[in-house]
Structure 1
Amino acid sequence: MPEYLPRDPKWKDPAHIQFEEEPSAQFVLFTNARVYDGKSDVLSEPQEVLIHKNLIRKVGKLVPVPQDVKLIKVDCGGKTLMPGLIDMHSHICIQDGMKEGRDSYDQMAMGAMCAHDLLDYLQQGFTTCRDAGGNVLGIAKAVQKGRIPGPRIYPSGAFITQTGGPGDTGCCFDQPGEMDYLEKNGFAHVCDGRAEVLKACRNNIRNGATQLKIMASGSVLGPYNNFYATHFTLDEMKTAVEVANDYGTYVMAHAYHDKAINRAIDAGVRCIEHGYLMGEETMRRMVEENIALSVQATMALEAFGDPDALAKFDNNQKTKAALVFSGAKKMLDLIHKYKPLTIAGGELFGRGNSSRQADNIIHMVSMGGFTHAEALRAATSSAATVLSWTGTLNPYTEGSLGVIEEGAYADILVVNGNPLEDIYALKRSNIELVMKDGKCHKFNLKEGALQVVTFRVGGSGKAK
């Protein structure tokens, strides 16, 4: 079961009491921590990491401690201190598929369920996510303003899809111009032609999208789309890219096969989602042009290769899933050969999946052949590189993400184990501390690991 936070607002464990009731202790000092900085292939020797408010100020051995200040001291006991994880392909506001929000629940209920998932993201160690489509713009704004707890969200807003594309959930007898309930509620913009794409993209950015997401090919589960179809003309794709460029950001594209991927790159798209059926020439081009590839290992290698998981699929969907399963294995071989900028995105949504986001990173190693360091970078520093492409629309520019270094955001995990040697250390039971933006959201370190200390000029710290 997901480890949701206690429902009783009066309940707080000792760590939360000290973190929250010491407003003068704006410094936090992590000691005896073996640091994974988000980039390296090995852990550091035991170090100290000093936090002031929401940023990392110092990293190293015997970091200078400000004098005459009160700070919270956390003894990591030689465990791994690393950046908060980043999920680059979330669908936070989608539960068991978009139609659940149309046929089973209203948007108030969907938002309440989403709030639970946000808390659980933090418990799993995910402090940032890039949402790849759905009615998430208001949720992202509420998190940014501190109205609800959750990971930082880089929202794409409503799917930009053509008529009959993967984001089109309308009735097959709808007439042109009719809007489906989900389209009205911000889950998708069904648009055809330059004018409609232009308006849809501007609408998303007006309402808070940090990047745009277009649906450039068919999918496994889409109700209408042909698996091998290429969606949107080159001019329509260029229109989305023009809007993104005008606002200083970029476009990501759902695309499975070579024709769709290459058309998207021709148009100026900078990040490809899925790409399961791409060939070698396309992979080589992605590397040459620095196009990022978002890998959904769990969906491709686990879900689409599991007979039990496929039991509820119809025959057409099973056929497409089998093609994705075999194609993904070949795509992963190409990744290992050409080394594109690879980022990790789970696309794990629904009651049975939202509580296991780390599985996507684990499967990149256990099923996909990635080294531990490659998989970790895909969910930390490499992911942060792509997030930085949002340019002027980036809502989080005070510090860096995905790294442990001076000037970075204080998004920190303390992990029981070494994920550079054992990727299963990322399982939620091993995540013993979660800090996002300098605030503690999970604390399972042993008793006595946390102290409030006053440092005086010319003297050592005195524990409270």
Structure 2
Amino acid sequence: MSQPKIFKNAVIFDGVNEELIEGGSVVVEGERIREVTDKNVNIDNAEVLDLKGKFLMPGLLDLHFHAYSISFNMAKLDSMPKPLKVSHSIKLLEGALQRGFTTVRDPGGGDVGLRLATEAGLINGPRFLYGGQALSQTGGHGDMRRHDEEEMSCGCAYSGTICQVVDGVDDVRKLVREELRKGADHIKMFISGGVASPTDPIWMPQFTDEEIRAAVYECETRRKYVVVHCHTDVGAKRSIANGVRSIDHATEILPDTAEMLAATDKTFAVPTLAVMRQILDYGPELGMYPESLEKIKPLWDQVLTSVENMHRAGAKMGMGTDLFGPQYHPLQSKEFEYRAEVQPAIDVLRSATSINAEIVQMKGAVGEISAGAYADMIVLDGNPLKDLSVFQRPEQMPLIMKGGSLIRNELH
């Protein structure tokens, strides 16, 4: 049995409660937390780490992280040799862990190979939840074929790095079953238009209710769930009605739909502000189509209003980032500041910890400091409840632990 570790003299945010535990202690044994207390703990032969009043909290979760998000130029991404894509993904995953994200959910593109490599320690990255290739209807957000390029004008179905095209209830059912057979933790569908895709307007409804329900049913047979790419308010209403669990982006949620979200315990929103700021701030250098850059312009004010509407209604919101391009992934840590424009810091922290854990069906296992949970923890030189920008400064994150293993320890 591994040597127990005691973290003492900590200011503890447990991922749930606003009230902090001052001068608290956390006992870690193996990969799990054994005890959390507001007192000092003495255990024979334990390793003691004195935090001297530093802030201890759960490891962060990012629920919209594409491990193969190497470029917004989808034609370039799709044509990359797989070993090159994997090499890039290793850097992206390891970078996320070094920023304190101990669990990520890849809603499109991530595969069992990355999961197994992480579990084997070949990738020193976060706990990895994956959905395989996301599902798009023909001409939907996941269909990256342009209508003005002859070489892509065939009627054959598109299947790329992030997503695949499928139409009809029976074929949706078959593809969902196939991804679940390959171990997917969830299934993602595109049910509204998007920015990166070249031929669909943002407002466009995608997939029929029958197709969505078929995917939801098949996921439920394996106790899994459906994630949807959805910008529109209409799409959010459809998601709630059809049993979708995770509405990602949730850009245009109106007050009445926010109230509907607050009234259900089955559907959650996962806003992704970082990717919008990335495109708005760096658009011309990202290699995106001009029509995509036009689509993004009105969305920033809309998503801030959407988040504010959901917060006022009391709807549960998780957190994701959806960034593309290795040089832009450090923006992952700015998601906290973007959300703080319309939310109190405590709710932003809950989104990135306990609420995200609930969304991915891991409540009590990750996203909180509690007995029995995985020992996924970070230590901060600073209180994020007072300054959320602390996540952007690695030098103020002296300790990162994932599953009881120290990833970084600079306390001394």
After TM superposition, the score normalised by the length of structure 1 is 0.82
Q: 1:432 aligns with which of 392, 398, 406?
A: 398
Task: Supply the distance in 2 between the matched residues of 1:92 and 1:212 (Cα, whole angstroms).
Answer: 16
Q: Which runs of 5+ in 1 are unaligned?
A: 1-23, 390-396, 447-464
Larger Rg: 1
The answer as to 2:22 corresponding to 1:49 is no
Over residues 35-92 of structure 1, what are the superposed CA-to-partner deviations in whole Å (9 max), with x where a residue is unaligned? Answer: 111112243211111110111111114454444xx33221112101110000011111
The answer as to 2:356 corresponding to 1:374 is no
Equivalent residue letter for 1:137 = V
Offset at residue 314 of structure 1 (A) = 5.2
Equivalent residue letter for 1:235 = E
Structure-to-structure mapping, 1:358-437, within 5 angstroms: 358-365=333-340, 368-388=341-361, 400-427=365-392, 428-437=394-403
Which residue matches 1:351?
326
Offset at residue 425 of structure 1 (A) = 1.9
Q: Would you say the 8 A contact 1:304–1:322 is kept in 2?
A: no
Aligned-CA RMSD value: 2.1
Q: Would you say the 8 A contact 2:366–2:376 is kept in 1?
A: yes
Task: Supply the distance in 1 between the matched residues of 2:359 and 2:250 (Cα, whole angstroms).
Answer: 17
Q: CA 1:203–1:25 in structure 2 vs 1: closer, same or farther (change >3 Å)?
A: closer
Structure-to-structure mapping, 1:13-412, within 5 angstroms: 25-67=2-44, 70-97=45-72, 98-103=74-79, 105-170=80-145, 172=147, 173-180=152-159, 182=160, 187-290=162-265, 291-300=267-276, 302-303=277-278, 305-306=280-281, 308-309=282-283, 315-365=290-340, 368-388=341-361, 400-412=365-377
Task: Supply the distance in 2 between the matched residues of 1:298 and 1:121 (Cα, whole angstroms).
Answer: 14
Task: Supply the distance in 2 between the matched residues of 1:66 and 1:314 (Cα, whole angstroms).
Answer: 60
Q: Which moved more, 1:376-385 or 1:216-225?
A: 216-225
Percent of aligned positions that are identical? 28
Task: Supply the distance in 1 between the matched residues of 2:284 and 2:298 (Cα, whole angstroms).
Answer: 13
Q: CA 1:337–1:62 in structure 2 vs 1: closer, same or farther (change >3 Å)?
A: closer
Offset at residue 28 of structure 1 (A) = 0.9
For residue 127 of structure 1, give the secondary structure of its aligned residue in structure 2. strand
For residue 276 of structure 1, give the secondary structure of its aligned residue in structure 2. coil
After TM superposition, the score normalised by the length of structure 2 is 0.92
Q: CA 1:125–1:135 in structure 2 vs 1: closer, same or farther (change >3 Å)?
A: closer
Equivalent residue letter for 1:194 = V
For residue 213 of structure 1, give the secondary structure of its aligned residue in structure 2. strand
Over residues 207-239 of structure 1, what are the superposed CA-to-partner deviations in whole Å (9 max), with x where a residue is unaligned? Answer: 111111110011012122222111101111111
Equivalent residue letter for 1:418 = N
Task: Supply the distance in 2 between the matched residues of 1:138 and 1:164 (Cα, whole angstroms).
Answer: 29
Equivalent residue letter for 1:445 = L
Task: Supply the distance in 2 between the matched residues of 1:310 and 1:327 (Cα, whole angstroms).
Answer: 22
Task: Supply the distance in 2 between the matched residues of 1:99 and 1:440 (Cα, whole angstroms).
Answer: 39
Offset at residue 205 of structure 1 (A) = 0.9
For residue 220 of structure 1, give the secondary structure of its aligned residue in structure 2. coil
For residue 361 of structure 1, give the secondary structure of its aligned residue in structure 2. helix
Equivalent residue letter for 1:123 = Q
Offset at residue 144 of structure 1 (A) = 2.8
For residue 277 of structure 1, give the secondary structure of its aligned residue in structure 2. coil
Task: Supply the distance in 2 between the matched residues of 1:209 and 1:37 (Cα, whole angstroms).
Answer: 29
Over residues 319-338 of structure 1, what are the superposed CA-to-partner deviations in whole Å (9 max), with x where a residue is unaligned? Answer: 32122123113212212321
Task: Supply the distance in 2 between the matched residues of 1:327 and 1:128 (Cα, whole angstroms).
Answer: 28
Offset at residue 303 of structure 1 (A) = 3.2
Q: CA 1:165–1:179 in structure 2 vs 1: closer, same or farther (change >3 Å)?
A: closer
Over residues 427-453 of structure 1, what are the superposed CA-to-partner deviations in whole Å (9 max), with x where a residue is unaligned? Answer: 22211110100101111222xxxxxxx
Q: CA 1:25–1:271 in structure 2 vs 1: closer, same or farther (change >3 Å)?
A: closer
Q: Which moved more, 1:57-66 or 1:276-285?
A: 57-66
Offset at residue 155 of structure 1 (A) = 0.8
Q: Would you say the 8 A contact 1:25–1:72 is kept in 2?
A: no
Q: Which has the higher contact order (CA 8 A, sep 6+)?
A: 1
For residue 231 of structure 2, give the secondary structure of its aligned residue in structure 1. strand
Task: Supply the distance in 1 between the matched residues of 2:209 and 2:322 (Cα, whole angstroms).
Answer: 26
For residue 418 of structure 1, give the secondary structure of its aligned residue in structure 2. coil
For residue 375 of structure 1, give the secondary structure of its aligned residue in structure 2. helix
Task: Supply the distance in 1 between the matched residues of 2:365 and 2:40 (Cα, whole angstroms).
Answer: 20
Task: Supply the distance in 2 between the matched residues of 1:179 and 1:293 (Cα, whole angstroms).
Answer: 28
Task: Supply the distance in 2 between the matched residues of 1:170 and 1:204 (Cα, whole angstroms).
Answer: 23
Offset at residue 266 of structure 1 (A) = 2.1
Equivalent residue letter for 1:272 = I
Offset at residue 424 of structure 1 (A) = 1.6
Q: How many residues align?
A: 404
Q: Which runs of 5+ in 2 are unaligned?
A: none
For residue 96 of structure 1, give the secondary structure of its aligned residue in structure 2. coil
Offset at residue 380 of structure 1 (A) = 0.4
Equivalent residue letter for 1:73 = V
